[in-house]
Amino acid sequence: MSFTVRDAFWNKYRTLVADVMLPYEYDALNNSLADASIEKSHSLENIRIAAGESEEEFRGLVFQDSDTAKWLEAVAYSLLYKPNADLEKKADEVIRLIGKAQDEDGYFNTYFKLNRPQSRFTNLLEAHELYCAGHLIEAGVAYFEGTGKRTLLDISRRFADLLYRIFLTEGKKGVPGHPEIELALVRLYRATGEKNYLDLAKHFIDERGTDPDFFVKEAAARDWNVWTPNPKDTDYLQATRPVREEENAVGHAVRAAYLYTGMAMTAHETGDETLLAACKRMWRSIVDRRMYVTGGIGSTAVGEAFTADYDLPNDTNYCETCAAIALIFFAREMATMTNDAEYADVMERALYNNVLASFQQDGTHFFYVNPLEVDPALAGKIPLLRHVFPSRPGWHACACCPPNAARLLSSIDRYAFHESEGVLYADLFLGGTYDSATAALTVESALPRSGEVTCTLTRGADITLAVRIPSWSKRTVIRRNGEECVPTMQKGYALLNNLNAGDAIAITFDMTPRKIYANPKVAADFGKCAVSVGPRVFCFEDVDQSAPLEGACLKRGGALRLVQSDAGDHGGFYVRAEGTMSQSCDGLYSYHAPDEQPCELIAVPYHIWGNRGLGRMKVWLPER
């Protein structure tokens, strides 16, 4: 099955990825950006050195190979919707270098090949060998699917075969310190049908947490480290107990969500109900108690990690771009396995907000951390905010996020629909055409500017279309061939049965601006509210207001008015909200309440914040 995106909103970003982000990211990986002040990557140069085509020394972080692998994966997807001979030629050359650098036994990792050839798999805790292997495998699968070329797939398979021999045939103990290879191995299994890859993924999942002291023993057996990690912090490493016994999402948020994705994919392929139950517990822990309204996860910069239930600070948070992307992977797999719309709801939330906010509208500047509140006078300066940037840098020394965003956006067509037991599920409402052995249909979508979506069946008979009814739509109207209908609801999907070629389903989602309130247990948001329209969370920036945001409040019961306009860079529309502005006191403290004046506050989509100069930004404002 396939979905071809023809959508004004999303094609803007897919074109940006293909025409701007991928060429720019190649130059960054190649150390050839024109701006010499931008941090250098060294990723491609390391591969040239490992291939014997350069005599420099390894530079960059231990996992630098993974950035190139994600870039290759993004290129593979982009070539399907926007062929580019120059980009494909560059990708083919990178693949040639990887093949030349690969050892005879299938091993590939430039850090170990160049710096520690005798130390393979002796530092699973922090050296990211299996993480890098996972991204290489994903790139191999994607490049084969996108271009039909097998070279990178074969490279990946040789490496995966080596890992199977080491960890299963020879019985080496160990699990990845940074999960990711689990989901990659299942992808490789799905692409090739080779069950060894699924067995290895299941092995890594089954072994995790069975020996909480594994990383301590591993560290004691070697005389070197990359950094200075704490192998005893098993919660951080998701290794305190076996995954089927874990109750909460803990530790490094990216690693956790990649692990949960691998668990869900393995459960989907094997029918393991205990593993599925564990995935559902992790999901509830995240979305009920540890997720931001933007779909971001990771409450603290200390370990880039989850903390405790309802601890969701807005200014010191992390919400790494990669974490939101990993959550989307997890959500997508759970949606396709359970046919429950809740998962697609969260997928949509993280996509429209956290992920889209991670890069500048010019496609050449990127956030790593995605805060919900920023003051440029403090961000990046005081100790607790040194990880927060008030504007997007051109690159990062640790640049996992930019190519991750590129690979997600270039493959967004894969998230729109799924089929299960003869039912066609509409998960994301992207305009385009869907085609499978079962049916074909066209989708016309005005989201996110308006709530009008029409699905027309162009091929098929007696088809059931399941339309997700988003949690943000207070009232949804569905018309079948012009007549309003009330379909049966099942797990958040409206079921339209007995559809035949020519039938049209018109859906009108409620795009009325709404206020969002957090659970009172979320101390950071108590007494405050946020604004949303459709799937998008909005924010307030200084640049739009009559006075600085520091004194702004929303009026309780005040009206919200949606304004559609192409004037200015508001992302197509903005919200006018009734509010008040407080005047500053004369001193640091006062016995008199500040004077308040009625005002109109303007909110814009969160994903475009920071595109119009430096200034304060807030998602949550006090309401009174």
Pairing of strands 423-426, 463-468: parallel
Q: Which of 400, 455, 529, 539 is catalytic?
A: 400
Please say whether the dihedral angle defined by the alpha carbons of residues 236, 237, 241 and 245, taken in this order, is positive or negative: positive
- In 3D, which of 615, 33, 68 has the Cα closest to residue 378? 615
Question: Is 529 a residue of the active site?
Answer: no
Q: How far apart are CA 69 and CA 77, in angstroms?
A: 13
- In 3D, which of 171, 327, 214 has the Cα closest to residue 264? 327
Tokens matching residue 30:
């190649």
515-530 burial, b at 16+ Cβ within 10 Å, e below that, comes to bbebeeebebbeebbb
- In 3D, which of 618, 551, 621 has the Cα closest to residue 371? 618
Q: How far apart are CA 395 and CA 40, in angstroms?
A: 8
Q: Give how far Cα 442 sits from Cα of 9, 487, 504, 610, Å.
A: 16, 20, 9, 35
Angle, alpha carbons 68-72-75 (nearest 5°): 135
Is the CB of residue 494 less than 8 Å from the CB of residue 469?
Answer: yes
Is the CB of residue 230 less than 8 Å from the CB of residue 212?
Answer: no
Q: How far apart are CA 517 and CA 526, in angstroms?
A: 8
Q: Which of 129, 246, 304, 320 is catalytic?
A: 304
Length of the chain: 624
Residues β-bridged to residue 485:
478
Q: How far apart are CA 562 and CA 160, in angstroms?
A: 52
Burial of 502 (0-12, 13-18, 19+ CB in 10 A): exposed
Quick one: DSSP state of residue 295?
S
Q: Under 8 Å CB-to-CB from 540, ≥6 apart: which residues?
A: 549, 552, 601, 602, 603, 604, 617, 618, 619, 621
Quick one: DSSP state of residue 223?
S
Question: Is 304 a residue of the active site?
Answer: yes
Q: Under 8 Å CB-to-CB from 469, ≥6 apart: which residues?
A: 341, 476, 489, 492, 493, 494
Q: Give how far Cα 571 sits from Cα of 426, 563, 605, 606, Å.
A: 25, 11, 7, 10
Return the CA Rg of the chain: 25
Q: How far apart are CA 159 and CA 153, in angstroms?
A: 10
Cα 277 to its chain centre, rounded Å, is: 23
- In 3D, which of 122, 92, 121, 125 has the Cα closest to residue 107? 121
Instruction: Supply the residues annotated as catalytic.
Output: 304, 400
